[in-house]
Structures are given as C-alpha cells and as structure tokens.
C-alpha cells in the first residue's frame, strides 16, 4: 500500500512540473522578439509528454524514454531528456511502484501461501482422511483453489480499493475510463490466478513441501526475471535498431536530391519553381504575388517530414518485429503479456511514445507551414523581413489527444489472448495434475 501512496505523491509532483514547464515553454515561444519566422522555426519550441493518471501505477518506460521533443525546422527529433541518466546504476534494481509489487511481490506471496497446499496433506498423511470422508480429489482441488483465490481476491481488493482512493484524492485533468480500470485490474488478477494455478499444480505433483517451494520459486525466477530479460535481449539481437549514425546517414541520403527549403538550385527545387510559376500563371519569381522563398520552405518542410516519417516508420516496423519476439516469449512467461498490457493502459509504453511523437510531428509540420507561409504572404520585396510578435501567439498550442482504450485493447489483442490461454491451460493442468495424486 505504501507504494501506492509514494507513487501518487510522485505522480502529483510530475504533473505539477509538467504543467509549469509546458506553460514556460509556451511563454518562451510567445515572448520572442520580432524576427524572421524561419529563424523562429529554427529556434523552435518544446513539447512535453503528458502523464496519464494510470502512470502512477505503472511507470513503464517513462524513465527510459525522453520526456521532451524539440520541434524546429527541417528535422524530426526524437524525444530527449532520459530521466534514468540522472540516476546511479542502483536505479536498475527497480523502483517501488504498485506495478512492481503486483508483478514481482504478489506472485511470491502466493507461492509462500500455497506451496504446501497438497504437500502438507501428503506429509501429514491427512489426504487419505479427507478422501475417505467422501470428498473427491477434484472437489478438494477446487476447494483449495478457491481458498487460495479468496485470499488473493481479498488482497487484490484491498490493493485496488487503495488504488482507487489514491486516484480519487489526486487532481486529474483527464478521467480514467471504467474500461481502463477493468482492464488494469483484470490483467493483474488474471496474472495472479495463473500463479495460483501453477503453485497448486506444483504442490500436487511435488513429493515434499521443500521440493514444491523450490520448483515454484524456480518458476517465479524464470517467469519474472530470466525470460523477460532474455527475450528482450534476443529481440534486440535478432531485429536490431540501426545505429544513430546509419539512421541519420540514410535520411541524409534520401534528402540529398530532394527539396530542403534552402536550396534553390537543385533539380527538385527547379521542378517546384516551374510548378509554382505555372500555378500563378507567371514567368519569373519576381512576378509572383508572394515571396517564393516562403513557399519553397513550406514545401521543403513537407518533403523532409515525409522522409522522416518513412524512416521512423521503418524503425517502428523493426520494433514490431521485436514485439513479435516478446509475444512468442509470452508463451513461456505470463509476465510478458501482463507487463505490456499494463504499460499500454497506463500510457507509459512504447506504443504511447510512438503515438505521441507522431502527433507531435504532425503539429511540427503545421507549425512550420504557418511560419513559412507567413514569409510567403508578407515578405515579398522586403529585405530582412521580420514577423510581428503577434505571429507567435497566433500559432495554436500543441493539443495532444490520448489514444482511446478501445484502440489500445485492439492493439494488444494477442497479449489478452495469451493471458486467457495461460489462465485456462494452467487451470486445466492443475485439475489434471491433482486428479492424478496417488494416495498411499
């Protein structure tokens, strides 16, 4: 419960910082002096990743992904300011967050509560006594399963009620939908049920409590520690991201012969010039009613953005391949699908990162177009044109629209399916294993 209180405090502080810094970034933009709009575009502005209320439960990749994006001319930048770099290596031991408790500590508690479910009966030879009273092994198994599940349910309820109280006492600009809550609680409850099933299954098969506990703990280590680490490392090895140098070189290569707004002389610029002259029905740039430089900058920006989109999409496709490896490893570890769905619902996953960066890129293009078109419309015949400061305030702020829960659930359908499979098969395996208990 303490983790919930701590996380709520931290979330409130982060939200406060977000609001203050976003306001300051906007003020910095609006308080610029009169200047060439394209110079202003080069100086650019900053947008900061917002926080969804469920982020207080699962911080996901927040500490490892950048928080802020610089939106300027000609270049799509990645998010920067990775918070994890401000911590020492000890940070890698993990943070005390509710998701940490639910993913690691909760299953461990279940193991401690249930490792001797059957072994104790075997060791004390009370199993025979129970069976001679007319209880079938299946009934006994279901009874024991229900008893453990009830303890689990009580613990979960206590946890989730505290969670909702923490949410209720915090101030939020966005309300968490009921489907988010149900999804979040459902996924963790299913995870705990899988562990309950596995613990009872092991207890039914093991000869002694010591062996049962050893096997259950080994499973816990495998499921929560080794497979997640191995699968992400393997995914990275099988489908690596290019180095930043290669990524930039590829973009530069694509840009080399295209429009870039500052190059009036290459073939692409000449073609664009012909097209503009034709549209306006004039023969020379001087005859145009607008400043040609502004049009070229605006068109160049669109072209460059398309190239960036192409390369960022390739990067995302590469991540998609990595995601397939994670999904494959979910067959071996229920931790994986639960971790990914939890982060997705908290909007602290890589999907959110991509969505936010894509939306910011759309805004960057619109932002640059507004500035460059101001040049086109006003700078004709003016040497050293400077826009009035009212232009800065006239450009709307970036208004990020959150991805809907429905969309997230759709994107993570494979994870949900795998969890359902885990719950069903682990339950069936538990029933099957207990029905084969030999009573001596």
Partner 1 sequence: MIPNNSIRLITAELLQLFRDRTFLGLMLLLLVLMALATWNADGHVTEKREQNLVQQDIVYRADVELMAQIDSLHNGLATYEKSYTLPTSGVRLTYNNHRLARLPFKAFSLIAIGQGDLYGNYKKIVLYFKDSYEMNSKELVSPIEQLFGQLDLSFVWVFLLPLIIILVSFNILSLERETGRLPLIAAQPIKIWQWLLMKIGIRFLTICGLLLLFTFALLTVFGIPVWEHISLFGQLILVLVFYMAFWFFFGFAVNLAGYSSGKSLIILTGIWVLFVFLIPSIVNQLGKELHPIPSRLALVNNHQAAYNAIESDLDKEMEALYRLHPDWYSEDPVTKDMSNSTGWNINYLAKQYIAQLKHQPVAEAYEAQVDLKNEWSGGLRVLSPAMIVQRALAHMAGTSTQYYRSFLKQAQEYANTYRQYVFKRLFTNHAFTVDEIKNLSKFKFDEQRVSGTFANDLLALLLYLCALAIFMLVMIQKRIKIK
Decide: is 232 part of the binding site for partner 1 (CB under 8 A). yes
Decide: is 358 part of the binding site for partner 1 (CB under 8 A). no
Decide: is 439 part of the binding site for partner 1 (CB under 8 A). no
Return the residues of window 377-406 that contact partner 1 according to CB under 8 A: 384
Return the residues of window 45-74 that contact partner 1 according to CB under 8 A: 46, 48, 60-61, 63-65, 67-68, 70
CB-nearer residue toward partner 1: 142 or 315: 315
Decide: is 267 part of the binding site for partner 1 (CB under 8 A). no
* The binder of partner 1 chosen from 146, 158, 174, 226 (CB under 8 A): 226
CB-nearer residue toward partner 1: 213 or 391: 213
Return the residues of window 308-337 that contact partner 1 according to CB under 8 A: 315, 319, 322, 326
Applying CB under 8 A, the site for partner 1 has a residue count of 83
Vertex 234 angle, CA 232 and 237, to 5° = 110
Vertex 11 angle, CA 7 and 13, to 5° = 120
Render the burial of 340-363: b for 16+ CB within 10 Å, e for the rest. Answer: bbbbbbbbbbbbbbbbbbebbbeb
On whether the CB atoms of residues 65 and 191 are closer than 8 A, the answer is no
Quote the strand ranges of 294-364, DSSP E: none
CB-nearer residue toward partner 1: 338 or 423: 338
DSSP conformation letters of 260-289: -SS-SSSHHHHHHHHHHHHHHT-SSGGG-S
CA 121 to chain centroid, in Å, comes to 45
Decide: is 164 part of the binding site for partner 1 (CB under 8 A). no
CB of 420 to partner 1, least distance (A): 23
Return the residues of window 74-113 that contact partner 1 according to CB under 8 A: 78, 80-96, 100, 104-105, 108, 112
Decide: is 146 part of the binding site for partner 1 (CB under 8 A). no
Decide: is 350 part of the binding site for partner 1 (CB under 8 A). yes
- Region near partner 1 per CB under 8 A, out of 18-26, 140-148, 266-274, 425-433: 18-26
Q: How far apart are CA 121 and CA 137, in angstroms?
A: 12
* The binder of partner 1 chosen from 125, 136, 233, 404 (CB under 8 A): 233
Decide: is 286 part of the binding site for partner 1 (CB under 8 A). no
- Residue 70: φ, ψ to 5°: -85, 120
Half-sphere exposure of 345 (CA within 13 A, CB side): 26
CB of 80 to partner 1, least distance (A): 7
* The binder of partner 1 chosen from 11, 52, 106, 115 (CB under 8 A): 115
Vertex 236 angle, CA 232 and 240, to 5° = 160
What separation, in Å, do the N-terminal and C-terminal C-alpha atoms of the chain show? Answer: 44
């Amino acid at each position: 419960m303490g983790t919930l209180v701590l996380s709520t405090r931290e979330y409130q502080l982060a939200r406060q910082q977000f609001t203050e810094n976003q306001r300051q970034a906007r003020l910095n933009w609006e308080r610029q002096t009169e200047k060439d709009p394209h110079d202003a575009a080069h100086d650019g502005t900053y947008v900061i990743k917002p926080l969804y209320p469920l982020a207080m439960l699962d911080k996901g990749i927040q500490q490892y992904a950048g928080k802020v994006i610089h939106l300027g001319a000609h270049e799509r930048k990645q998010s920067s300011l990775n918070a994890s770099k401000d911590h020492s290596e000890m940070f890698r031991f993990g943070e005390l967050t509710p998701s940490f408790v639910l993913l690691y500590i909760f299953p461990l508690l279940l193991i401690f509560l249930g490792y001797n479910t059957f072994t104790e009966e075997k060791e004390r030879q009370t199993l025979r006594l129970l069976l001679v009273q007319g209880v079938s092994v299946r009934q006994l198994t279901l009874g024991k399963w229900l008893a453990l599940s009830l303890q689990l349910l009580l613990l979960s309820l206590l946890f989730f009620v505290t969670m909702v109280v923490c949410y209720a006492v915090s101030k939020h600009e966005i309300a968490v939908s009921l489907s988010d809550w149900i999804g979040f609680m459902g996924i963790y409850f299913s995870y705990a049920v899988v562990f309950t099933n596995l613990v009872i299954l092991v207890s039914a098969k093991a000869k002694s409590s010591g062996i049962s506990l050893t096997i259950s703990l080994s499973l816990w280590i495998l499921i929560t520690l080794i497979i997640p680490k191995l699968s992400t490392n393997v995914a990275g090895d099988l489908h690596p991201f290019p180095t930043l140098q290669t990524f930039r070189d590829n973009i530069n290569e694509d840009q080399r012969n295209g429009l870039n707004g500052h190059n009036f002389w290459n073939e692409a610029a000449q073609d664009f010039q012909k097209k503009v002259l034709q549209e306006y029905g004039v023969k020379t740039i001087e005859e145009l009613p607008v400043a040609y430089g502004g049009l070229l900058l605006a068109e160049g920006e669109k072209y460059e953005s398309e190239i960036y989109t192409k390369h960022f999409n390739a990067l995302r496709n590469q991540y998609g391949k990595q995601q397939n490896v994670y999904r494959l490893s979910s067959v071996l570890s229920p931790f994986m699908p639960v971790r990914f769905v939890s982060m997705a619902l908290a909007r602290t996953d890589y999907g959110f990162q991509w969505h936010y960066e894509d939306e910011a890129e759309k805004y960057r293009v619109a932002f640059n177009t507004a500035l460059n078109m101001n040049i086109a419309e006003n700078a004709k015949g003016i040497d050293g044109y400077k826009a009035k400061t009212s232009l800065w305030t006239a450009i709307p702020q970036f208004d990020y629209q959150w991805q809907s829960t429905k969309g997230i659930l759709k994107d993570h359908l494979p994870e949900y399916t795998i969890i359902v499979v885990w719950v069903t098969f682990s339950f069936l395996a538990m029933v099957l294993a207990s029905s084969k208990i030999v009573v001596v």
